[in-house]
Amino acid sequence: MSGQCGIYSGADLTNVKIRSNTFLGGSGTDLSGGCTQGSPGVTISGNVRNGQSSACGTGWASPPAISREVFYNGGATCGTGSQNLGAGATALSPFVASHSNTAPDAHLTGGAGRLDGAVPATSGGCPTKDIDTQDRPIEGSCDAGADER
């Protein structure tokens, strides 16, 4: 995959934060492609994503800053404070409403304990709103992924 530092096709990313997303149905943002820029300023934090690839930006000219990622469906962990929910397509099932390709739903379930409070809110670690425009904490910690429970 070329462009956008191996995340999606298009021009390389520069000076962006990819944070608090939930990538469902096989989406990985595995960072396996090379970023051609010397120091693109890409920061990745608090996302829930497929962990089938452990590339983690190792092919980049300057690897992204990665922290507090939550991986499922593979063995990857990247960056500081990251965790893995386990292998297999259903590893995310107890935590989000639906991870299917046909009806994905990133809302957290009652059993979302490992995603609760996984990301420090300090230093801009959490956006102010979630996918439903619900407030996220500005102090303490927020939930990993797109939904704040």
Kindly report, residue by residue over 38-68, the tens digit of the pLDDT: 667 788 899 998 887 777 877 777 788 888 9
In the predicted structure, residue 130 carries a pLDDT above the cut 90: yes
Sorted by sequence, the CB contacts under 8 Å of residue 43 that are 6+ apart come out as 16, 17, 18, 19, 64, 65, 66
pLDDT at 1 over 60: no
What pLDDT digit, counting tens, does each position of 20-32 carry? 999 887 656 767 6
pTM score, whole prediction? 0.85
List % helix, strand, coil for the chain (3-state, nearest 5). Answer: 5, 20, 75
Q: Which tokens belong to 143?
A: 């939930």
pLDDT at 2: 45
